[in-house]
Amino acid sequence: MTDITSFANRLRIKTFGSVFILRALFVIPVILFNLVRSVPGQDLIPEIKRDDFNQVHGWWSYHRDGSAADDLRAITNGDGYLLLKLRNPDGKRECNVGISEFQNIYGKKYAYLAVEARIKILNAMKPGSRGWGFWKSSKQFALNSLAWFMEQQAPTDPSLFWQLVGTLDGNRRSVKPWKPDPQKWHVYRIERDLQKNTTRYLIDDKLYFETPGLVPRDRLSFHLWVDNQIYSKRSGIMRSGWKGESAVVADYVQIETKRQGARQVKISNPKVLFYRQWNKIFHGKGEYLIDKVKFKVPRKKVYILATVRAESYDGFDEPDQLKIYLDGESGSPVLSFDGSRLKGKTKSVFIEKTMEIGEHSLVIKGRTTPLLYDVLVIDAGDGKPLINESFDKPVNNELRWKWTNVKTKKILFYLAASLKESPRFNQIIPVDSLEDSDDDLVIRFDGKAINENGRFDFCGNKIFGENRSAFLNKTVEPGEHQITIRVKGTPRIHRVLLLQTD
């Protein structure tokens, strides 16, 4: 293992081989202009930008360079995981496989910037490098700002074999040996906090390393790569050819520009007994506790609804599971989600349950990494929902429902849907030019579009393929009424629920 000082010096080399996009700078001058100037008009970078690798997202560049360009199996994506394989690289040229965002998109505007990724390395290190984290390139291609996990190995020089986590900002740097076994699943998290002036590195939710007073302050982007390049202060970049493969599998990557937390959403309707939005991928060993929530039942019948995404992993790990138990963990769950059946899809399940009046609880448990969006408990009263529909396939036509009130009634309307961003979205193209190709929903009540302070803004370029849930409370006069959902693109509508609540 090399010492920390020599590693820090090596980070100052003027060309960094695992920076895949740099080659394009010599070929496409307009890209160079975009990379070194401020990113234009990207106000729609969401608080959470998540890839569960159950679909292809436009914000990544997918790299197969050198001999990997001819290997169609170098990247597997869309089945709930991302698999990167560098096989039999040519030692005479740079060969790499990976994903990256467009460079330099997270500036000081994002005082808090974090990435969380669940990753497993599938084999022992081959000569070259691999890793993941934030970095920035400059006009001179010097690495002067980074925060990431990285390892490399040289074929004959033990001093060039290291596995480190570290921060670099200009001429200042701090690193630490990275000891957890990377050939087991771990959740890696990096947090750049400009307000607190620190960079934090967590492994499986435990603080592993922190660099107080040292923060990469330049514009950053996320990268995950495998290559055949070795970096040495003495020799510069060396390339190695070998037989075999160096492979990495990622369960998910989530980039945050604001601190996240479960939101207890207040719904001003006495029929709503409990509602919480988590919007979070959970993880743990075996079956683990996600949450325990309490609510009071005024009458004997309730509706329970949960919206969840679960995946399978083709043998790389156990399928996701999420189970919700009523009043303890004994017996069968009242709601259950299994990735072997859902295979990366989001599903909203609605049940009716008869129970005793009084206080009750829901125990929510997970396995592997299910994504829990929200849970809703409603006093069912004596009636039935006016609308209760779920769509397993993408919707591509207008939806319309009508009903008649014989007297004034209060209604509760709930909608959960996932919408994709424009396939051309890359955080360089101005947002306005992308609005013709994302998914959108326009919800109208009696002909008027519902806004409700932006809660019903179902725009794919803001949701980025994720689920959004929204409520509407409204007093409705006697007569005929109508709700319509105008569809653009092919969104997935997980649940449409309409209840009279008095």
CATH number where 345 lies: 2.60.120.40
Q: Are residues 272 and 291 in the same domain?
A: yes
**Mean per-residue pLDDT, 350-362:** 96
**pLDDT for residue 46:** 78
- Domain count of the fold of the chain: 3
Q: Are residues 18 and 150 in the same domain?
A: yes
**pLDDT for residue 25:** 23
- Amino acid at position 293, single letter: V
**pLDDT for residue 288:** 97
Instruction: Annotate 176-209 with b (16+ C-beta within 10 A) or e (fewer).
Output: eebeeebeebbbbbbbbebeeebbbbbbbeeebb
Which two structure tokens, joined as six digits, stand for 352?
A: 């009716």
**pLDDT for residue 222:** 96
Q: Are residues 394 and 322 in the same domain?
A: no
pLDDT above 50: residue 187: yes
What range defines the domain where residue 226 resides? 4-256
Contacts of 270 (CB under 8 A, 6+ apart): 379, 501
Q: Are residues 111 and 170 in the same domain?
A: yes
Q: Are residues 90 and 202 in the same domain?
A: yes
pLDDT digits over 212-246, tens only?
A: 999 999 899 999 999 999 988 777 889 999 999 99
Strand 82-87 vs strand 75-77: parallel, antiparallel, or unpaired? antiparallel
3-state helix, strand, coil in the chain (%, to 5): 10, 50, 45
pLDDT above 70: residue 264: no
**pLDDT for residue 29:** 28
484 burial level (CB within 10 Å; 0-12, 13-18, 19+): middle
| Whole-angstrom distance, CA of residue 201 vs CA of residue 164 | 12
Last residue of a domain, one of 256, 278, 310: 256
Phi-psi region of 158 (alpha: psi -120 to 50; beta: other; left: phi over 0): alpha
- Phi then psi dihedrals of residue 105, to 5 deg: -105, -20
**pLDDT for residue 468:** 94
pLDDT above 70: residue 278: yes
**pLDDT for residue 366:** 98
Q: What residue ranges in 56-212 does DSSP mark as E strands? A: 61-65, 75-77, 82-87, 96-100, 112-121, 128-136, 145-153, 162-169, 172-177, 186-193, 198-203, 206-210
**pLDDT for residue 266:** 72
**pLDDT for residue 1:** 31
**pLDDT for residue 143:** 67
pLDDT digits over 477-493, tens only?
A: 999 999 999 999 999 99
**pLDDT for residue 113:** 96
Contacts of 491 (CB under 8 A, 6+ apart): 394, 395, 417, 418, 419, 420, 439, 440, 441, 458, 460
* Torsion 94-115-285-52 (CA) sign: negative
- Phi then psi dihedrals of residue 63, to 5 deg: -115, 125
Q: Are residues 294 and 187 in the same domain?
A: no
User: CB atoms < 10 A from the CB of 270, how many?
Assistant: 11
Q: Are residues 488 and 408 in the same domain?
A: yes
pLDDT digits over 424-475, tens only?
A: 887 777 777 788 899 999 999 999 999 877 889 999 988 889 999 999 999 9
Q: Could you tell me the pLDDT band of residue 329, with boundaries at 50, 70 and 90? A: confident
Domain at 149, CATH number = 2.60.120.200
pLDDT digits over 139-170, tens only?
A: 545 567 999 999 999 998 988 999 999 999 98
| Whole-angstrom distance, CA of residue 224 vs CA of residue 53 | 14
pLDDT above 90: residue 280: yes
Last residue of a domain, one of 224, 256, 288: 256
Q: Could you tell me the pLDDT band of residue 262, with boundaries at 50, 70 and 90? A: low
**pLDDT for residue 490:** 94
pLDDT above 70: residue 14: no
**Mean per-residue pLDDT, 188-205:** 97
Average pLDDT of the chain is 87
**pLDDT for residue 179:** 82
**pLDDT for residue 31:** 31
pLDDT digits over 291-323, tens only?
A: 999 999 998 899 999 999 999 999 999 999 999
pLDDT above 50: residue 41: no
- Amino acid at position 19, single letter: V
The H or E element containing residue 315 is none
pTM value? 0.89
pLDDT digits over 393-433, tens only?
A: 899 889 999 999 989 999 999 999 999 999 888 777 777 77
**pLDDT for residue 453:** 78
| Whole-angstrom distance, CA of residue 16 vs CA of residue 98 | 14
In sequence order, what DSSP letters do the residues of 383-446 get, joined into one string?
S--SEEE--SS---S-EEEEEEESS-EEEEEEEEEE-PPPTT--SSS-GGGGTTSS-EEEEEET
Q: Are residues 28 and 142 in the same domain?
A: yes
**pLDDT for residue 18:** 41
Q: Are residues 223 and 249 in the same domain?
A: yes
**pLDDT for residue 43:** 54
Q: Are residues 70 and 170 in the same domain?
A: yes
Last residue of a domain, one of 231, 256, 281: 256
The dihedral formed by the CA atoms of 55, 58, 60 and 62, expressed in degrees to the nearest 10:
80
Which two structure tokens, joined as six digits, stand for 207?
A: 């603080």
* Torsion 183-118-307-367 (CA) sign: positive
Tokens 């170098």, located at residue: 74
Q: Are residues 230 and 301 in the same domain?
A: no
Best-predicted range by mean pLDDT (68-82, 138-152, 263-277): 68-82
432 burial level (CB within 10 Å; 0-12, 13-18, 19+): exposed
How many residues does this entry show for the chain? 502
Domain at 434, CATH number = 2.60.120
HSE (side-chain half, CA atoms, 13 Å) at 182: 27
Q: Are residues 226 and 317 in the same domain?
A: no
pLDDT above 50: residue 7: no
**pLDDT for residue 428:** 72
pLDDT above 70: residue 109: yes
